Amino acid sequence: MKKISNWLQRSSPGWVALLALVIFLLFTALVLPAQSSKAAGQAGETGTPDLSLWYTPGDLNRMAESYGEAGRQEYVRSRFTFDLTWPLVYTFFLVTAISWLFGRGFPPGSPWQLANLAPLAAMLLDFFENISTSLVMLAYPQPIPLIAWLAPIFTLLKWILVASSFVLLLIGVGAATLAGIRKRRKIL
């Protein structure tokens, strides 16, 4: 894990973190609203597993039923188009920003340097969530109990790690700012 973290650190100079921020902001402003509107229209009042913090296998099956055949097909299609891209975008931003900020805010070799792995774990859980919920949608009305139980666990852990990554980003901003102030005071 440390090798991956170190590689991410070396691959995240300021200009890459800035590029990732621009891509994240553009995607959030231009693509996300249309996709969210489309998903909300498709899901109706039953909601969607991706935006839920927790749901049960029964909830997931009710969602699958309420979507209908065409809705389930669209759900699966969007999991392997948009929902492959979005995790890559937010992970690129979070990994590069955390790597860059923590590289400035904490000394080399600090355990804090491993914080750049949290967004990677969130992305993997997002992909596991997409696969598991898609399998449930494709198999409906045939139940897949193990997958239906794993899906909400993947979703909950994904949201915990995504939220933690944004908290880490704020910690990085604070640590880099304090390190910059200390460095400036030493120069003066």
pLDDT digits (tens, 9 = 90+) for 132-153: 999 999 999 999 999 999 999 9
**Of 73, 95, 79, 157, nearest in space to 122 by CA:** 157
Q: Give me the pLDDT at residue 185, please.
A: 83
Alpha helix positions (H), the chain = 2-10, 14-30, 32-43, 57-79, 82-105, 118-139, 145-187
Percent of the chain residues past pLDDT 70, beyond the cut: 97
User: Hey, what are 186's tokens?
Assistant: 């030493």
Q: Give me the pLDDT at residue 42, please.
A: 67
Q: How far is CA 38 from CA 34, 160, 162, in A?
A: 6, 25, 23
User: Hey, what are 159's tokens?
Assistant: 């949201």
The pair phi, psi for residue 77, each rounded to 5°, is -60, -45
User: Hey, what are 177's tokens?
Assistant: 């700012």
Q: Give me the pLDDT at residue 188, please.
A: 66
**Of 96, 89, 80, 69, nearest in space to 12 by CA:** 96
User: Hey, what are 40's tokens?
Assistant: 């909300």
d(CA 51, CA 49): 6
Residues 6+ apart with CB under 8 A from 100: 12, 13, 14, 16, 17, 172
Contact 17, 100 (CB under 8 A): yes
**What's the pLDDT tens digit per position in 34-48?**
887 777 666 667 788
Residues 6+ apart with CB under 8 A from 174: 105
**What's the pLDDT tens digit per position in 104-114?**
999 999 999 99
Percent of the chain residues past pLDDT 90, beyond the cut: 86
pLDDT at residue 11 greater than cutoff 70: yes
Q: How far is CA 28 from CA 6, 12, 32, 38, 151, in A?
A: 28, 21, 5, 15, 25
Q: Would you give the DSSP letter of residue 31? A: T
Q: Which pTM does this prediction carry?
A: 0.91
The one-letter amino acid at 106: F
